Amino acid sequence: MSVKQEEVNFARNEQSETTMMPGKFATAMRTNLIWQFIRFVIINLKMLVVVSKSH
C-alpha cells in the first residue's frame, strides 16, 4: 500500500506535525487547468475591487 504524501509530510519533523496539510485533491486542484481558469477570473475580480478602493 502506498503511503499518502501528507503522511510523509507530517512525519518529517516536529515543526510539520502541527500544521494544516493539503490532501491529494486540494493539491491537484492547484494546477487543474479548468479550476484554475475559474480562480483566475475570480482572483482578478477580487484584486480589481481592492485596487479600485485604493486609488
For the residues of 1-55, what is the DSSP string, one character each?
A: -PPPHHHHHHHS-HHHHTS----HHHHHHTT-HHHHHHHHHHHHHHHHHHHHHH-
- Cβ proximity of 49 and 42 under 8 Å: no
Closer CB to other proteins, residue 3 or residue 55?
55
**By CB under 8 A, residue 1 contacts other proteins:** no
Closer CB to other proteins, residue 3 or residue 20?
20
Which residues make up the interface to other proteins (CB under 8 A)?
A: 9-10, 12-13, 15-16, 18-22, 27, 29-33, 36-37, 39-40, 43-44, 46-47, 49-51, 53-55
